[in-house]
Amino acid sequence: MTTVPRSRLSRAVEAQEGVKDLILRRGLVAGDPLPTESELMEELDISRNSVREALKALQAVGIVEIRHGFGMFVGRMSLAGLVDELAFHSRITLQDGRNHLGHLTEIREVLESGLVVRLIDLGDEADLAPVTEVMARMEAEAQVGAVPPETDRLFHDLLYRPLGNPLVSQLLGAFWDVYHQLRDEIGTPDEAPADVARRHRDILAAVTAGDRAAATAAVEAHFEGVRNRLERLGPRPL
């Protein structure tokens, strides 16, 4: 077994920190172009190999975006890596009955319970018209068949958009992406389509009425169906 020499490891870390420091010193933001490899070598006084190692590592965590044929740019925040890791480890835990998906669902429920209260606090500043339109679509879909996951996801995304916090959309999207990757393991919803629509309608109605207690209770009821499905998931044969 070979080990990475300490000097090489420290130079690689030093190069990464140098690139990050350069981004901050120049006041660059997501999407802004970065210096070329040669320019980074000169400014940071490091070798081409160290620059390339640093850029590869920073690309993996979303700090740097490399567009072949166009150059290098400051990356945009993404939770894709987190989604893949959560989905993979959740799939592993399903094999021994520990079910990380239940823990993930609990976190999302706590998050949304707090978000609906913040939304109510906005009062008339919260534009819920787009959510009302999606709600009407969901109820129409429930009358003719299952409510598509995309409609469910859009409801939650639009509901919290008036909060003006882009991280909310990213976090909720990450939860959805994990569920989507594990859709075969989770199975189909137990609830009738009409009940799915009704639970969403209850959330919207409580928020519109400014009723904090009813809103948090509606969020809890909404997640009851997800919890019931997850409770059925037992250990799978290896």
Closest CA relative to residue 193, chosen from 224, 233, 227, 152? 152
Instruction: Provide the CA 113 distance to its chain's centre, in angstroms.
Output: 17
Longest dimension (CA), the chain: 66
Closest CA relative to residue 18, chosen from 45, 38, 57? 45
Instruction: Provide the CA 137 distance to its chain's centre, in angstroms.
Output: 24
CA separation, residue 13 to residues 52, 59, 74, 136 (Å): 12, 14, 18, 53
- Model pTM score: 0.72
Residue whose pair of structure tokens reads 């189909």 in the numeric block: 188
How high does pLDDT run on average in the chain? Answer: 85
Q: What is the pLDDT of residues 66-112, one digit of tens each?
A: 988 889 999 887 777 777 887 787 777 665 555 677 788 888 999 99
